[in-house]
Amino acid sequence: MSTVPVTDTESPAHFSQESHPEFGPADIVDTERYPLGNRCAETYSAAVARARTALAADGCAVLPGFVRDSWLDRLRTEGRDVAPRAFVETRTVNVYNTGAVDESLPPGHPARVRFERGNAFVARDHIPDSAAIHRLYRDAGFQAFLADCFGLAQLHELADPLAGLCLNVVTDGRSHPWHFDTNEFAISMLTQAPEAGGVFEYCPDIRSAGAENPDDVADVLAGRGEHLIRRIALRPGDLQLFRGRYSLHRVTEVAGPTDRHSAIFSFSERPGVVGSPDRTRQLFGRVTDVHDRPRAVRVDELMD
């Protein structure tokens, strides 16, 4: 299926150019605490240092109040406007996001444990260019700041027209069960908190590029790994940096009529990266012409 670009006539009224005067990341972000584009500022260096320390220690860093309080209502409204365009699919998966069970695996292996996963993702081409999260995603200062926090020379937007930026929607009674990411790092921002539940839980560096450590993973899935689990109660406007490739993680079940919305900003150290056709169909229900191009080289030989 080909991509259907969002035009001004298709977009919700909240996103019309008339109702959105020109603004940029400096308006959205609390630049006193996070002065994007000003690497010489002491607050910039301090924010980067805190993020690097947290990532090194726990594989996760939270930058509280990244978005100004005055913009939280707009973030919530923009998310609510596009949430109905989420692709929703329920399927049975394991922590490695693989389908059929590999019968060669020993009994008790975590890949044999199945979960019901209800995906609901709004693709990038359904998020108007005028949305605050889209302006942040494209901003060079935002990208440079993230690269500095991760200790990388540069980050590139994904060449994927669907997965580069998306909105994750978790509704009442739904969760995002235990899993590993396919990317080495993830950047997300809660834009709407549920009334109850929706807590982010993770097991930092429970595996490495050279070792799956299935016994520890199995302990967590069986309820014996409480000592390995850490929890974060995120607030709207907090920016989360996470090394999800090696840290098992989940979002607990949401309760109440208010959905949990989270913007996911996807970048790569290499230009031109797009998702695999299978994974793209799983998340968005469709692919585009660019998904037929050769994949980027994997960084490890883990199960996924």
Instruction: Report the Cα 184 to chain-centroid distance in Å.
Output: 12
What would the pLDDT profile of 50-88 be if each residue is shown by its tens digit?
999 999 999 999 999 999 999 999 999 999 999 999 999
At CA 83, angle to CA 79 and CA 84, rounded to 5?
145
Q: Given the structure tokens 């069986």, which residue do they identify? A: 222
Cβ atoms within 10 Å, residue 62: 20
* Residues spanned by the domain of 208: 23-99+107-292
221 within 8 A of 44, measured Cβ to Cβ: no
Specify if 122 maps to a domain: yes
Tokens of 273: 């990266």
Specify if 13 maps to a domain: no
CA distances from 65 to 120, 188, 200, 302 (A): 26, 13, 17, 35
Segment holding 269, helix H or strand E: none
pLDDT band at 144 (very low <50, low <70, confident <90, very high): very high
What is the rounded distance in angstroms from the CA atom of residue 144 to the CA atom of residue 10? 32
Specify if 261 maps to a domain: yes
Specify if 18 maps to a domain: no
pLDDT band at 294 (very low <50, low <70, confident <90, very high): low
Alpha helix (H) ranges present in 168-212? none
For the chain, give the percent of residues with pLDDT over 70: 89
**What is the average per-residue pLDDT within 97-108?**
82
Segment holding 119, helix H or strand E: strand 115-122
What is the rounded distance in angstroms from the CA atom of residue 246 to the CA atom of residue 242? 10
pTM of the shown model: 0.87
The answer to whether the Cα torsion of 207, 234, 266, 58 is positive or negative is negative
So what's the pLDDT on residue 299?
57
Specify if 302 maps to a domain: no
Specify if 301 maps to a domain: no
Tokens of 186: 């993830």
Specify if 277 maps to a domain: yes
How many domains in the chain?
1
DSSP type of residue 37: T
Maximum separation of any 2 CA atoms in the chain, in Å: 60
What is the rounded distance in angstroms from the CA atom of residue 89 to the CA atom of residue 155? 30
Specify if 235 maps to a domain: yes
Q: Which CATH number fits the domain that encloses residue 133?
A: 2.60.120.620
4-13, 98-107, 170-179, 201-210, range with the lowest pLDDT:
4-13
Q: Given the structure tokens 């967590």, which residue do they identify? A: 220
11-20, 56-65, 165-174, range with the lowest pLDDT:
11-20
